Amino acid sequence: MRSAAARAILAAILAVPTAGAAQQPEAAGRPVTFTRDVAPILQRSCITCHRTGELAPMSLTTYEEVRPWIRSIKTRVAAREMPPWHIDKTIGIQKFKDDPSLSDEDIATIVRWVDSGAPRGNPADMPPQRVFADAMQWGIGTPDLVVKYPAQTVPAAGPDRFGNLYADIGIRENRYIKAVQTRPATRAARRVIHHALSYAVDRFDIDATGDDSAVLDTAQFLVEYASGKNGEIYPEHSGVLLEAGKQAMVSYHVHSIGEETKAQIELGMVFYPKGHVPQHVRWSKQLARPVADLDIPSGTVSRVDGYAFLEKPAKITAFQPHMHSRGKRQCLELIYPTRGQSAYSEVINCANFNYNWHLVYNYADEAAPLAPAGTVVHVITWHDNSSANRFNPDPRNWVGDGQRTMDEMGFAWIGWYDLTDEEYKEQLAARKALQGTAGTTPQQQP
């Protein structure tokens, strides 16, 4: 069940999109300088990570810090590898919340500045430095509640470790979550935590064997952490119910990095006011797992497809590709209920993949895809097991499904909330009216 758009994507998959369309502007009357033209771009989109004490390998807050890296900066921004935002800008919806990506004009400015010798410019033109509250600040704002799971020590060497940890939540009445984030509690912990999935679970006694697998039968999923993932802020009027008396559980995967490391995970939540019930329950699930086991021969690029069925009308709020180090690219397609004799489908988005950045792409409210009941979510995933993939640990080996870092996965985390038939019709009519006044949007509804 492949649309013409999906076939075209498959044919072009080996050509990674770059900012080739962002040609340098014609020579202007004044030179491009760091203080006047480049520093504002870096402050807006780069120094959240590229500053002292943060994850990035170098700080880019001053001219002296930036100057040694100008060739690397030019290469990475021209290829749209930095800042991390891997949505293909030539396909599908382009309106997202908190999009840090550079415009074509931004990229052209940086390229022209480097090619002209990277002049400093007038120090008086330098914008004030951004002020950050804390290098380990939360991505969801200040949480109303922080749950700290027990710390553990990851040895310097050894196999990947998996398990569950528990902690008290401590709320005495039901509350609706407005934003949520699981994260490593320290910078050192970031290096060893592969992923961490937080749940709200009923209290229970683990059996004599230490087996707690049954807890997931009734667990309520809250949020996932993976390398570079930002927090989840739910759309207005939507939230997740956290029941009083529940315990927090995190299902973790850690790996050794050559030195003994203390790893602690914490869960932060922002709540709606007490007693407030949002209009919609927001869901986040692993959807469209591959219909067949992953089979990725050495030295190849392989494709796998997965499908999920939406029984109710829905508004899709977020898209997050999930793969491991051989992940190359993923596309989200919606296959709508048949019209006449043929299915109607749209490729909503495609994103290149970088294992260090498990990004959640949160759609702007006015652009979030609307899906009628009976829509099939189609996730198309490509893995690159060749030597051309610089993240590939060993292109000589076959790779299949598995939980270990060296294994592979290929699904999408999808965020959405259900709509009634009446809500879907109302929102669809409003979307069509917006298209009529503001031009055609990428998503053409049936």
- Residues contacting residue 226 through CB under 8 Å, at least 6 positions apart: 194, 195, 322, 358
How would you classify the pairing of strands 280-287 and 238-242?
parallel
Beta strands, E only, 245-398: 247-254, 261-263, 265-271, 280-287, 295-296, 301-309, 314-322, 327-339, 342-352, 361-362, 370-371, 376-384
Q: How confident is the model at residue 20 (pLDDT cuts 50, 70, 90)?
A: very low
Span 238-278, pLDDT tens digits: 999 999 999 999 999 898 999 999 999 999 999 999 999 99
- Look at residue 1 and tell me whether its pLDDT is greater than 50: no
Q: Are 398 and 298 in contact (CB under 8 A)?
A: yes
Distance CA 5, CA 444 (A): 14
pLDDT digits (tens, 9 = 90+) for 98-111: 888 999 999 999 99
Greatest C-alpha distance within the chain? 78
Omega prior to 83 cis, within 30 of 0: yes
The mean pLDDT of 43-64, rounded to a whole number, is 87
Q: Are the C-beta atoms of 190 and 222 separated by less than 8 Å?
A: no
pLDDT at position 210, please?
Answer: 62
Entry pTM: 0.78
Name the least confident of 25-34, 283-292, 354-363: 25-34
Helix or strand holding residue 201 (H, E) = strand 193-201
CB 268 within 8 A of CB 140: yes
Q: What percent of the chain has pLDDT above 90?
A: 59
Picking from 290-294, 299-303, 388-392, 436-440, which range would have the lowest pLDDT averaged per residue?
A: 436-440
pLDDT above 50 (res 439): no
CB 101 within 8 A of CB 45: yes
Tell me the pLDDT tens digit for each residue of 220-233. Answer: 889 988 877 777 88
**DSSP code, position 159:** S
CA 47 to each of CA 42, 184, 437: distance values in angstroms, whole numbers, following the listed order:
6, 21, 37
Region class of 258: left (phi > 0), else alpha (psi between -120 and 50), else beta? left
Query: pLDDT per residue over 314-351, tens digit each?
Result: 999 999 999 999 999 999 999 998 765 566 899 999 99
What are the structural domains, with CATH classification, of the chain?
Answer: 15-125 (no CATH), 145-278 (2.60.120.230), 283-438 (2.60.120.230)
Rg (CA), the chain: 23
Q: Is the pLDDT assigned to residue 14 strictly greater than 80?
A: no
Q: Is the pLDDT of residue 11 over 50?
A: no
Spatial contact of 70 and 91, defined as CB atoms under 8 Å apart: no
- Per-residue confidence (pLDDT) for residue 134, from 0 to 100: 62
